[in-house]
Amino acid sequence: MVFQEPASMASTVRTKAHPTIHEFELIRAIHRRHGRHTPSVIQGIGDDAAIITSRAGQWTVLTTDLLTEGVHFDLRTATMADIGFRAAASNLSDIAAMGGTPQYLLVTLAIPRTGTSRHVHQLYRGMMAACRPHYVGLIGGDTSASNGGWFLSVALIGVVPSRQALFRSGARIGDLLYVTGTIGDALAGLRLLNEVPPRTKRYPWTTALSTRHRQFLIGRHLRPTARVAEGQWLNTHRFATSAIDISDGLSGDLRHICRESHVGADLDLAALPLSQACHAFAVSRELDPVDLALTGGEDYELLFTVSPRQRLRLERAALKRGFSLTCIGKIHPLRFGIQAISSH
């Protein structure tokens, strides 16, 4: 699935539903006006997923996404299975960011006149390919005809232990900032898919990037890995003080943590984890790979904070589990804002 290339920061981001409405301002306004307090709601609007209480010592975690053809995905560059996979992965990543265990999937689908049952089965096949490793069951949804293109709404339900979830609001001054995996790959993959094939030798891009690197980057865009195991591990062992998944870009999602935690941060640009493929793509297009890492959304890696006292224990345990983690900064007082530094 090809998502629209993400905008860089909050003040200029537009909602995917309307070209002139600021997305995050709209969300905050909806929260203020319509988000009434309910005793069973632990976390409502404002984090990666909602959490409600349940009876068996668990909180219920809920998240949802709405995807529209032509806005969030392009059928010219993605299969229906790719679209389904990425839609499910996005929701799985929200549950991962809360440290939860995903359990149930609900899908609402509007099918255009050109849609066939084969298209629908391919879409669901992709969604279940993403969900199956996590034992997520499809439990319901709805379908309708569409006079326009495809519309897909995915809701995911999961659980976390009561009083033990990861929030954006837990970062403390002095905490270290970590990220899983590599970042910038999904944006590079999106740009590859959207490139017009070169017709002259002036832009020999197809030969400037190996087939292996192209396939890796496009795969990272179309079929991202939701870091469910890492999120559960961070939560179970109480390593993380706050967390978010990288869906709006590293700079934007770090801003979310800082806003909710009332802190600032130093971000070490030299420490950002870049894949060889992302670096090769940037060099071949005369781009700065750091820009791809900062502004590229939808990598669905986890950005989280850790007490410095936990650093050695965290990194040793991650090495033993085979998890890729990189320390990319530090939390400091709010008055200093977010500052980019370079350790090299």
Tens-digit pLDDT profile for residues 274-321: 999 999 999 999 999 999 999 988 999 999 999 999 999 999 999 999
Q: What is the pLDDT of residue 33?
A: 66
CA distance 61 to 230: 17
Specify burial of residue 41 (Cβ count, 10 A radius: 0-12, 13-18, 19+). Answer: middle
**DSSP state for residue 245 in the 8-state scheme:** E
Provide the token pair at 327: 């320390």
Distances (CA, A) of 90 to 36, 66, 77, 306, 316: 26, 11, 19, 24, 29
**DSSP state for residue 22 in the 8-state scheme:** B
By the 8 A CB rule, do 99 and 49 touch?
no
CA distance 205 to 212: 14
Residue 268 has pLDDT above 90, yes or no: yes
Could you tell me the domains of the chain?
Answer: 10-161 (3.30.1330.10), 168-341 (3.90.650.10)
Q: What is the pLDDT of residue 51?
A: 78
Q: What pLDDT digit, counting tens, does each position of 134-184 carry? A: 999 888 888 888 889 999 999 999 999 999 999 999 999 999 999 999 999
CA angle (191 as vertex; 17, 109 as ends), nearest 5 = 40
Residue 73 has pLDDT above 50, yes or no: yes
Amino acid at 245: D
Distances (CA, A) of 101 to 19, 89, 234, 240: 35, 13, 12, 16
CA distance 329 to 51: 29
Specify burial of residue 38 (Cβ count, 10 A radius: 0-12, 13-18, 19+). Answer: exposed
Identify the weakest region by mean pLDDT among 100-104, 195-199, 212-216.
195-199
Q: What is the pLDDT of residue 14?
A: 36
pTM of the model: 0.85
User: In sequence order, what are the beta bridge partners of 111?
Assistant: 145
Provide the token pair at 126: 């992709």
User: In sequence order, what are the beta bridge partners of 325?
Assistant: 180
Q: Minimal CA–CA distance to 180: which of 108, 95, 275, 270?
A: 275
Q: What is the pLDDT of residue 37?
A: 64
